[in-house]
Every structure is written in C-alpha cells, then in structure tokens.
Amino acid sequence: MPAGRWPAAEFVRTVFPGWATAEVAEKLGVDRKTVYRWVTEGVRWGDTKADSMALEHGRHPADIWPGWWDIYLEPDEDEEPPPLGQVCLFDLAA
C-alpha cells in the first residue's frame, strides 16, 4: 500500500485535543494500539482516508492539514500544461 501524505497524528491532535489514547480509540472504534501507532510511528493516510476521517468528525481536511488545498495546485508530472492563453478558471463573459 502506498504511503499517504497526511499524518494521522495531526488528526488525533486536532480533533481530540487532550484526549487519552484509549478515549480516542473508543470514540473511533479502533484498538488503542492503532491510535498509539498513528501518533508515535508517523502513520500517514492517503487522500481518501484523510478526507473521510475528517468529515466523519465534523471537520474539513484543510482544518486539520493546512496543506490540503496544495494538492489541487500541484501540476501533474505526466500532464502537459495547456497552451498559454487557454486557461481560464471562470467565465469572463458572465
């Protein structure tokens, strides 16, 4: 499984500030060892997991991971940029 980019520890610290590992685990329905690993071993989640975990707990991923919007600004390495003058993010005629 490829490594993700979003640290699970940030989710725990932001969504459950000051909570004990066992309390977080109980709330999430996972083993406390899982939460401990997230925090101490630098476990990272992929985009889908990070998004769903944040939204399931009433947060937007950008509230937890400040670089969330950057993923939409990064160019695809495999994709050629469009010719100059052919990019418009909104309708100028409106």
The pLDDT assigned to 68 comes to 86
Structure confidence by residue, pLDDT tens digits, 19-58? 999 999 999 999 999 999 999 999 999 989 999 999 999 9
Q: How would residue 82 be classed by pLDDT, with cut points 50, 70 and 90?
A: low
Q: What is the pLDDT of residue 2?
A: 46
Q: In whole angstroms, what is the distance from residue 72 CA to residue 14 CA?
A: 23
At residue 77, φ and ψ (nearest 5 deg) are -65, -30
Residues in the chain: 94
DSSP string, 6-73: EEHHHHHHHHSTT--HHHHHHHHTS-HHHHHHHHHTT-EE-HHHHHHHHHHTT--HHHH-TTGGGGGT
Arithmetic mean of pLDDT over the chain: 84
Instruction: Give me the percent of the chain exceeding a pLDDT of 70.
Output: 71
* Averaged pLDDT for residues 52-72: 89
